[in-house]
C-alpha cells in the first residue's frame, strides 16, 4: 500500500528573532477604556492574530511622536513639509490608517517565552520623499535606536521558558 507523508517547510525564517522587512496590509486605530490611544498593524504573510501595537506617546512639546514615526518611517500619508521659525521641518501628513496599507517597514521580532512578538517601534527602509531621504546608513541608525530601546525597556521584562526555576531539595537523601 502506498502512502504520502508531508514535511513542514524548513528555514522560512518567518518567526526568527531579529529584523524583518514587512508590508502592512491592514491598520486600525483604537482606544482603551483608560483613554490610551494606539494603532494596530498587520502584515502580509502573517496570520491575523500576529500584529504590532504602537501606543501614542506625547512629547514635552505636546506633539504625538510614536504613531507619527510609524507614518514617517513607512513613508505614509506625507503630503508636505514646512520650515518652522526655529528652522525645524514640520511634516504635514494624512494619518488615516488606509495610508499605511501597502507600505514597507523594518520590524524587530523577539521571543517572549514561547511566543514571538513585535517591538512597538519600527525602522524605515531606504526611500526618498518630498521631505527627507533615508539611506542604508540611516536605516542602520534607526535599527540601532530600536535595539537600544528593546535592551533597556523590553528585554528585562521578558519571560524565559528555558530558565524556569526548578525546586531544589536541600535535605540529605535518606539512603
pLDDT digits (tens, 9 = 90+) for 99-109: 999 999 999 99
Statement: residue 1 has pLDDT above 80: no
What's the pTM?
0.84
pLDDT digits (tens, 9 = 90+) for 23-39: 999 999 999 999 999 99
Across the chain, mean pLDDT equals 89
pLDDT of residue 166: 43
Checking if the pLDDT of 175 tops 50, the result is no
Residue 169 has pLDDT above 50, yes or no: no
Query: β-strands 78-83, 89-93: how paired?
Result: antiparallel
Tell me: the pLDDT tens digits for 132-167? 999 999 999 999 999 999 999 999 999 765 554 444
Q: What is the pLDDT of residue 66?
A: 97
Which residues have a Cβ under 8 Å from the Cβ of 170 and sit 6 or more positions away?
Answer: none
Give the start-to-end residue ranges of the domains of the chain.
18-157
Mean predicted confidence (pLDDT) in 35-52: 97
Calpha distance 30→26 (Å, rounded) = 13
- pLDDT of 2 reads 76
C-alpha–C-alpha distance, residues 135 and 43, integer Å: 23
Amino acid at each position: 500500500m502506498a502512502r504520502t507523508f508531508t514535511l513542514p517547510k524548513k528555514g522560512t525564517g518567518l518567526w526568527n528573532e531579529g529584523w524583518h522587512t514587512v508590508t502592512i496590509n491592514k491598520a486600525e486605530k483604537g482606544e482603551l477604556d483608560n483613554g490610551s490611544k494606539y494603532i494596530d498593524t498587520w502584515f502580509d504573510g502573517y496570520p491575523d492574530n500576529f500584529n504590532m501595537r504602537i501606543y501614542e506617546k506625547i512629547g514635552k512639546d505636546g506633539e504625538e511622536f510614536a504613531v507619527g514615526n510609524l507614518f514617517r518611517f513607512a513613508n505614509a500619508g506625507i503630503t508636505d513639509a514646512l520650515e518652522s521659525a526655529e528652522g525645524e521641518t514640520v511634516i504635514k501628513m494624512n494619518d488615516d490608517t488606509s495610508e499605511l496599507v501597502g507600505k514597507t517597514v523594518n520590524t524587530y521580532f523577539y521571543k517572549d517565552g514561547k511566543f514571538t512578538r513585535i517591538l512597538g517601534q519600527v525602522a524605515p527602509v531606504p526611500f526618498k520623499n518630498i521631505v527627507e531621504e533615508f539611506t542604508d546608513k540611516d536605516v542602520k541608525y534607526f535599527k540601532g535606536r530600536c535595539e537600544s530601546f528593546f535592551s533597556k525597556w523590553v528585554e528585562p521584562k521578558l519571560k524565559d521558558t528555558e530558565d524556569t526555576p526548578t525546586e531544589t531539595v536541600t535535605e540529605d537523601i535518606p539512603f
